[in-house]
A and B are shown apart, each in its own frame.
Chain A
């Protein structure tokens, strides 16, 4: 198999927990992520599933290079992040992008949509001049937002689904090869969810993107992912092919997670979601 674009090798993250009660607080270390290895290959969609607090997002932040791991290392195209040259670090920064869950907090409330989308163009790509505005417009267009209408608006004037499209446009601005999507649709309405998923899937096919899709929605996993990793309490409890895991979960925790999914049959829900995505056309109703 090819070299993974992005790989975590036995990473752990320890957070200090201070007991607040005493004058001389004792500090204990909490393992949010405990010795996890993940590899993402070009064009692959890896789903990372687990309940809240299982360390999914912390792992995501480490793989983005935002949080140095306490143990283990993150490798970009086979090379440890700490060992990258300045040039390679810039390539990493450009190729590994992110889409966040909270669409309200993931855009600077004081920047217009165009300003937010321009950040990676100006900083990651070093683009200058009128080219920036042209790129911004074409990116907005790609995610289904009319540039003339949205360019100069502020985030709070947009709906959650529209903001998430802006977030996706911003991630696409750097022309990445991997996007770490941290619960990108869990804060959205079900109808909007299918549209955003469809967009992410379309961009993936057009650009040969790889995704690390952090989610707790097994329906989404079914619809998009090639492989799935299940996390519990900072550890990897199960990993494998989507169909195998969802139809025949080995780990008790995965079985419970499947049982807890609102629709009795998550594979049916996944098919329904996939169906909805096919039927959906772009263009959302304004708020």
Chain B
């Protein structure tokens, strides 16, 4: 294959993954996220214990026989809890991000493309949601309607979409004025096709990047709610583990260390992944391999 043909080939599909792997931090993040996803999916197989059921041995330190991350105040296995907690965190993170991105793209796309009063109305609404103090609103909704996984997801999604909407709006309204959009309009494209085929694909990179950051933010917010005892009481989450661990901070550090580490690494990984996606998705960084 000539160097020229190679350059063309690298601008296509498989090159994307290669570009994504250019950064070592991105590779580590993806490996970590992959590991967490596998643990979450196969939690019943890898946990070894029921995370909700305690045993006789309470507050065993890490590396105790049978409990390599130790046990909590009720004798529940910390490893099992952390593994099952990943299910809640990932589910809340991913589902929330999907909701937030969907609402954000629709609202931001319409506001940016049509401008005028549609823009004004939609952006004032998004500002209203942005000015709400995130945590306080989450507290109020859960205090009023009770907690539950789907309520948590709903609350976080309602709070997260404005950022995506503003970002999409800004990108769309600047892309709308690009000559290639005018050229496509002169070529006979209607509004729908222009927005869906000419404009939005060029916003895909920032959308995917904020989606990844939304996952991180949602995991953090869910952990925060869990920490204050506002998570779903029927599920173990990293936040609720921290909530219980805080009173034993001096005597059982492992109870807070492992869920804390899991939250920090997961949030960090999704942020690093977002960054790497941003670099890899930029069409101008293509070809150079």
Give the CA-CA distance A97 to B8 in the complex, in Å: 30
Interface members, chain B 186-219 (any A CB < 8 Å):
186-190, 193, 198, 201-202
Question: What is the CB-to-nearest-CB distance from B119 to chain A, in angstroms, rounded to a whole number?
Answer: 15
- Given contacts A98-B182, A102-B179, A105-B180, whether A157 and B7 have CB atoms under 8 Å apart is yes
Q: Is A110 a contact of B201 with CB atoms below 8 Å? A: yes
- Given contacts A156-B284, A157-B8, A157-B287, whether A109 and B186 have CB atoms under 8 Å apart is no
Q: Is A100 an interface residue (CB 8 A)?
A: yes
Give every chain B residue within 8 A of A96 (Cβ-Cβ).
Answer: 186
Give every chain A residue within 8 A of B188 (Cβ-Cβ).
Answer: 90, 93-94, 119-120, 122-125, 174
The chain B residue with its CB closest to the CB of A117 is B187
Question: What is the CB-to-nearest-CB distance from A129 to chain B, in angstroms, rounded to a whole number?
Answer: 17
Give the CA-CA distance A93 to B186 in the complex, in Å: 6
Q: Is A247 an interface residue (CB 8 A)?
A: no
Give the CA-CA distance A119 to B186 in the complex, in Å: 9
> How would you classify the secondary structure of chain B's contact residues: helix, strand, loop or mixed?
helix
Interface members, chain A 85-141 (any B CB < 8 Å):
90, 93-94, 96-98, 100-102, 105-110, 116, 119-120, 122-125
Interface members, chain B 150-183 (any A CB < 8 Å):
178-180, 182-183
Give the CA-CA distance A105 to B175 in the complex, in Å: 10
Q: Is A110 a contact of B182 with CB atoms below 8 Å? A: no
Give the CA-CA distance A90 to B179 in the complex, in Å: 20
Q: Which of B11, B182, B283, B284 sits near A66, CB closer than 8 Å?
A: B182
- Given contacts A123-B193, A153-B8, A157-B11, whether A174 and B283 have CB atoms under 8 Å apart is no
The chain B residue with its CB closest to the CB of A107 is B180
Question: What is the CB-to-nearest-CB distance from B171 to chain A, in angstroms, rounded to a whole number?
Answer: 13
Q: Which of B187, B202, B283 sits near A123, CB closer than 8 Å?
A: B187
Q: Is B187 a contact of A108 with CB atoms below 8 Å? A: no
- Given contacts A105-B179, A107-B180, A110-B202, whether A154 and B187 have CB atoms under 8 Å apart is no
Q: Is A170 a contact of B178 with CB atoms below 8 Å? A: no
Give the CA-CA distance A44 to B51 in the complex, in Å: 82
Q: Is A123 a contact of B189 with CB atoms below 8 Å? A: yes
The 0/1 profile, CB within 8 Å of B marked 1, for residues 163-181 of chain A is 0000100100110000000
Interface members, chain B 1-49 (any A CB < 8 Å):
7-8, 11
B183, B189, B201, B283: most-surrounded residue (chain A CB, <10 A): B183
Q: Is A154 a contact of B11 with CB atoms below 8 Å? A: yes
- Given contacts A109-B202, A110-B202, whether A152 and B183 have CB atoms under 8 Å apart is no
Give the CA-CA distance A124 to B184 in the complex, in Å: 10
A contact set with B: CB distance below 8 Å: 61, 64, 66, 90, 93-94, 96-98, 100-102, 105-110, 116, 119-120, 122-125, 152-154, 156-157, 167, 170, 173-174
Having A97-B186, A98-B186, A119-B187, one finds 12 other A-B pairs with CB under 8 Å, namely: A64-B186, A66-B186, A93-B188, A106-B180, A108-B180, A108-B201, A108-B202, A109-B283, A119-B184, A119-B188, A124-B187, A154-B11
